[in-house]
Amino acid sequence: MIKRDTWIRIIKDFSEFKLPEMVERDIKISELPIKRAVSIIGPRRAGKTYLMFHEIRVLLEKNTEKSRLLYINLESDLLIGCELSDLRTMFELFYEIYPENKNKKVYLFLDEIQLVAGWEKFVRAVMDTENLQVYVSGSSSKLLSKEIATGLRGRTITYYVYPFSFREYLRAKEFKIEDYLSSSRKALLLNLLNKFLNGSYPEVVFFEEEKEKILKEIMDVTIYRDVVERFKVKNIKVLKLLLKNLIASTYFSVHGFYNYLKSMGIKVSKNTLYSYVDNFSDAMVLFTLRSYSESYKKKEQTIPKPYFVDNGLLVVNGIESKGRLMENAVFMELIRGGFSTDTSLFYFDSQKEVDFVLKEEGKIARLIQVCYDIDDFKTKERELSALVKAGVELKCSDMLVITYDYENVEEYKGWEIKFSPLWKWLIS
């Protein structure tokens, strides 16, 4: 139970809180004409709190009195053990301190809300009875989605926050994209692209000299602690081995990893390994991509490819391959663009692999290959022949090769294939 004095202190402290400087994100939260909660979901350290601060700033710039706004960080040491009843006490005290707000619209921001069991009951109740807009954030995709669907009965609009996109990264570095670039500006842009490919967690972008330290902390503290504590993982050694194996692999089979552990004399069930993979996915650190098939059963039987929410997690674990880092960056940009690994984003493997298959409006809309070095004849032939083979099988003529810095439109065996530099595709 949180003491009354603690809540008073938190509420009054916010009235004096100065908002930090912020990089404008690509995410734009709409002003809702109907009563719906805004939920902001994303991995730890991706910028959910700062997106809330941005919304607070927008409201203040519209001359909303700060006394009508309240931000609560539920990860605060002061709020350890916060329960549903404590949220009700907090809200009652807010009106007690600012009684004039009873006749005004108020704005409530609840950060890392999943830490309070039953939070959705509180949010639904205040939405039903008070004139307010509620914003909630969390770093558990399944938990929040389930609670939002059941507890709020769909009365929410959800935004997903990930580490900086390349557009946001350039904004943070104060690099303005121009239609025509001089040689020196182009060289600077490619230098920034190389840095972006090494990770774009906001902290890493602003404190480059501390990059390795920050990334190791995210790995060791945030990821492991979140997964271990949230899901009560007992076999931490296996969990760490699993994550390192996922990072080192371009394909990942639980069965193969199970046999690897068995050969080392480590006993663990396959179900446990599947649950650990799900735990990393729930923490929004890991995504798994399946090969395209019109049959759901066949798709689920394909070997998944692991992708990660930020390249920094790969780099800090020794991944240096430019091709791998480019592919992961392209994957995350597709996720930011709204593609889903459940319904609209796949790879394709029919003896020759295509990195990404995009499905829109019920049909295959585009095929994408990612290739760092397109100058090598054998490499180029391999990538293009795979695209054309997939194009024929999937009846798709929109084919794109994303390169490091090559741009062209070429004909290959009667098919038109576009080549786009990664930097240009990422900002388009």
* 176 torsion bin: left (phi>0), alpha (psi -120 to 50), beta (else): beta
Looking at the domain that runs over 4-161, which CATH code has it been given?
3.40.50.300
**Cβ contact 239:224 at 8 Å:** yes
CB atoms within 10 A of CB 73: 17
Please state the domain extents for the chain.
Answer: 4-161
**Cβ contact 354:348 at 8 Å:** yes
CA-based R_g, the chain, Å: 24
Nearest residue to 23 via CA among 170, 209, 214, 178:
170
* SS3 assignment, position 11: helix
pLDDT in tens, the chain (428 residues): 999 999 999 999 999 999 999 999 999 998 776 788 999 999 999 999 999 999 999 999 999 999 999 999 999 999 999 999 999 999 999 999 999 999 999 999 999 998 999 999 999 999 999 999 999 999 877 666 767 767 777 788 889 999 999 999 999 999 998 889 999 999 999 999 999 999 999 999 999 999 999 999 999 887 887 899 888 999 999 999 999 999 999 999 999 999 999 999 999 999 999 999 999 999 999 999 999 999 989 999 999 999 999 999 999 999 999 999 999 999 999 999 999 999 999 999 988 999 999 999 999 999 999 999 999 999 999 999 999 999 999 999 999 999 999 999 999 999 999 999 999 999 99
* SS3 assignment, position 234: coil
